[in-house]
Amino acid sequence: MSTQVSSARRGIATEEMITVAKEEEISLDNIIHKVANGSIIIPNNNSRKQKKIKTTGIGCGLKTKVNVNISTSTLSQDIDEEISKAKVAVKYGGDTIMDLSDGGDLDSIRERLLEAAPITFGAVPIYQAYWHAVDKYKNPLNITEDDFLNAFEKHAKDGVDYTTIHSGITRIWHNEC
């Protein structure tokens, strides 16, 4: 399976790159170059291709994007309210949805939100891994690398386009567009 980056590095324009170039009114060559060097990303999970998902480019030289955070929690698990928020975000032109849910049936919540929001969709797999560790080990501090990787893989299989990883970064990196 080819990715946006691997295609761009071979000089191949994907359907998504063509769409972003048109939406952003930027040359396709510019998009290909910036996707290849990592200064533009086009989050796009292939498992959602059969659904009409709005393609969004994010990065250097592109228009500012609107990300809408929605979530359930251990205190409030009203999925209908979160679906309503997702639909409002789509209606008013939100570019991406980030599901920050950390309470309730996370699989069902993610599935229903993905269905309600035909735009780029992100999630936080460590939250699911945390609850798995609570369930399995009775202590979230006993989470393993496999627990995290399994949660990450589950999110990808479910159709999540991008994730937040929550990690410490110690290297300072400066990249000019």
Q: Give the other-Cβ count within 10 Å of 19's Cβ.
A: 17
Quote the pLDDT of residue 169.
54
- The answer on pLDDT for 125 being more than 90 is yes
Quote the pLDDT of residue 173.
60
Quote the pLDDT of residue 99.
97
The gap between the terminal CA atoms of the chain, to the nearest Å, is 28
pLDDT, one tens digit per residue, over 87-98 is: 999 999 999 999
Quote the pLDDT of residue 172.
63
Range 120-140 average pLDDT: 94
Give the predicted TM-score (pTM) of the model. 0.88
> Would you place residue 170 in the very low, low, confident or very high pLDDT band (cuts 50, 70, 90)?
low
85: left (phi over 0), alpha (psi -120 to 50) or beta: alpha
**What is the enclosing helix (H) or strand (E) of 99?**
strand 96-99
**Cα gap 45→114, rounded to integer Å:** 12
Quote the pLDDT of residue 174.
65
Tokens at 150, concatenated: 């399994």
Range 136-159 average pLDDT: 93
- The answer on pLDDT for 72 being more than 60 is yes
- The answer on pLDDT for 118 being more than 80 is yes
- The answer on pLDDT for 157 being more than 90 is yes
Range 155-159 average pLDDT: 95
Q: Give the other-Cβ count within 10 Å of 51's Cβ.
A: 10
